[in-house]
Structure 1
Amino acid sequence: MSEKNRDGKRTARERLAVEREKQKSADRRRRTLIVGASVVCVLALAAVIGVLAANAGKDKGGSAGPAVAPSGAQGKDSLAIPVGKDGAKSTLTVWEDFRCPACQAFEAAYRPTLHELTDAGKLRVEYHLVRLIDGNLGGTGSLRAANAAACAQDAGKFRDYHDVLYANQPKETDDAFGDDARLIELAGKVNGLDTPAFRTCVKDGTHNSWVDKSHAAFKAGNFGGTPTVLLNGKNIYQDQTMTPAKLKQMVEDAANG
């Protein structure tokens, strides 16, 4: 074999070795990129999951931790906010949602009668707060308003604030009560309620878990919807003949009987 041919074959082998080394280097870089990309994808997926979980918590109002009942709450699991005297012969149990238009209609029609009967010591009203509309339409207004009402109960001003919330109820599809600033603004309509303690209670969602517990009890009771109104255990809201005057007569008969 000539020297020229040997040099040619050696040069070819060297070129092949160089190409193989280049290929190996390229393969190593590709594997590194694939591993790196996989790590990035996993981290990105974890970040997305984290964001979704955080947003899910926000959608639910961030209810977490033990249920803190408002001051003076009574009944099973302290889920009822009482208005009226303990010794009243009649008890009206009301399950309500501050975003519920039907609840507002009931309040507008029956409020004067309820105030008259409770002030006279003839009727005791037990309010149970739920968040039905939040689940149906989204948002947190039912929860936040119920928490704020419970905060008002802590301050001994539940009934007045309760009435203010219904008097200023937004449209059912408007989650205005999901804004703590709005709830605090409305507290200004109740003498002495807008205090640092009330604001902290509203912003911290002190009673959020309690509201959720009340809502769970509502679902467990298999009630048809809000408002659910029971007079001494009997559902009177389903009675198409019921009027404020009829309710008043029933309560007064019980008080006199």
Structure 2
Amino acid sequence: MDLGPGRRAVPPRFVLPDVSEKNREGKRTARERLVVEREKQKAAERRRRALIVGASVVCVLALAAVVGVLAANSGKDKKSASDGPAVAPSGATGKDGLAIPVGKDTAKSSLTVWEDFRCPACKIFETTYRPTLHELVGAGKLKIDYHLVTIIDDGRGGSGSRQAANAAACAQDAGKFTAYHDVLYDNQPDETVDSFADDSKLIELAGKVDGLDTPAFRKCVKDGTHNSWVVKSNAAFDSGGFKGTPTVLFGGKNLAADPTMTPAKLKQMVEAANKG
């Protein structure tokens, strides 16, 4: 996909499950969409390389002016600040408390997912694998650690990735992360439209989750309580050397890079790990 002169989200090469002859055409269409996404992403990379040389010169000339503007506006936008303490959401785990855990700690299998709520490829993964993931988590066989990043903000501009991630962390504080997580993907705007940057939109979507739209949740969203935590999570993604979102790790292997992966195959892997 074309993210302009920034980073790019790398769509997963998941193969949709082989369910029936009637659905074969739908699967072909999904595969074709992923091929188109990859071609767009290659074109974006070529343009990015061409722009680097010219952009570096411009950056040098503009550096002094940028520093002056940042100094003048320091502290004006609390929601964009990332210098404050990183306030992790309730129950966050892992290194630096950057993972939101879903599932029982006793589960023998674990999945690590790095995702961006504005990322179209992440939505493809979610809609394809969600029923299987919910089933395995509900059965106590799988635990998922979600890491939230802002790759689309960085590439397309805007702040919707960060603010949606903050809102999801606010939902975690309320014990409603999974439900709100799914609502965000079900209502994902086109990646060129930064709808999630609007607090009122995020609060409106909270109304689709029973008991989430509370004064505490609204304050958390409007104050950007977890913004610095989201920034820290995104920095961990960058330093981890990952190629794009979604990155889905199982046993150290990135399932997004496996063209043979299907929900049925993932379920078999988890079942096998639970028997071992």
Hey, what does 2:264 align to over in structure 1? Answer: 245
Contact 2:93 2:99 in 1 (8 A): yes
Output the CA distance in 2 between the equivalents of 1:217 and 1:248: 28
Displacement of 1:233:
1.8
By how many angstroms is 1:256 displaced?
1.3
Letter aligned with residue 248 of structure 1: K
1:220 aligns with 2:239: yes
Q: Is the 8 A contact 2:162 2:227 kept in 1?
A: yes
CA distance in 2, matches of 1:193, 1:181: 14
Partner of 2:156: 137
Matched, 1:118 2:123: no
Deviation track 1:148-174 (CA, whole Å, cap 9, x = no partner) reads: 000000000000000000000000010
Alignment of 1:163 onto 2:182: yes
Give the match's secondary structure for 1:91: strand
Out of 186, 190, 199, the position equivalent to 1:180 is: 199
Query: Quick one: which amino acid aligns to residue 86 of structure 1?
Result: D
1:137 to 1:183, Cα distance in 2 relative to 1, 3 A: same
CA separation in 1, counterparts of 2:158 and 2:78?
6
Distance 1:193 1:59, change over 3 A: closer
The one-letter code of the counterpart of 1:163 is: D
Q: Distance in 2 between matches of 1:234 and 1:207?
A: 29
TM-score with structure 1 setting the length? 0.78
1:125-161 Cα offsets, whole Å, 9 max, x none, are 0000001110101000000000000000000000000
Shift of 1:88: 0.8
Change (3 A) 1:244 1:65: same
Separation in 1, partners of 2:78, 2:114: 22
Q: Do residues 204 (structure 1) and 213 (structure 2) align? A: no
Percent identity between the two aligned chains: 72
Matches within 5 A, 1:231-242: 231-242=250-261
Match of 1:104 among 109, 123, 134: 123
Give me the whole-angstrom Cα distance separating, in 2, the residues matched to 1:80 and 1:148: 15
The one-letter code of the counterpart of 1:113 is: T
Which stretches in structure 1 are left out of the alignment for 5+ residues?
1-45
Could you tell me how far apart the structure 2 residues matched to 1:57 and 1:106 are? 38
Amino acid at match of 1:151: C
Q: CA RMSD in A?
A: 2.2
Structure 2 unaligned blocks of 5 or more: 1-64
Higher relative CO (Cα under 8 Å, sequence separation at least 6) belongs to 2
- Change in Cα spacing, 1:134 to 1:89, as seen in structure 2 (3 Å) is same
The structure having more radius of gyration, on CA atoms, is 1
Q: What SS class does the counterpart of residue 67 from structure 1 fall into?
A: coil
- Paired residue type of 2:149: V
**Aligned equivalent of 1:67:** 86
Q: Which SS does the other structure have where 1:237 is aligned?
A: helix
| Cα distance change on mapping 1:51 and 1:218 into 2, 3 Å | closer
Residue aligned with 1:64, SS: coil
- The residue identity in structure 2 corresponding to 1:177 is F
User: Is the 2:93–2:101 Cα contact (8 Å) retained in structure 1?
Assistant: yes
The 8 Å contact of residues 59 and 139 in structure 1, kept in 2 or not, is answered as no
Does the Cα contact within 8 Å between 1:57 and 1:63 map onto a contact in 2?
no
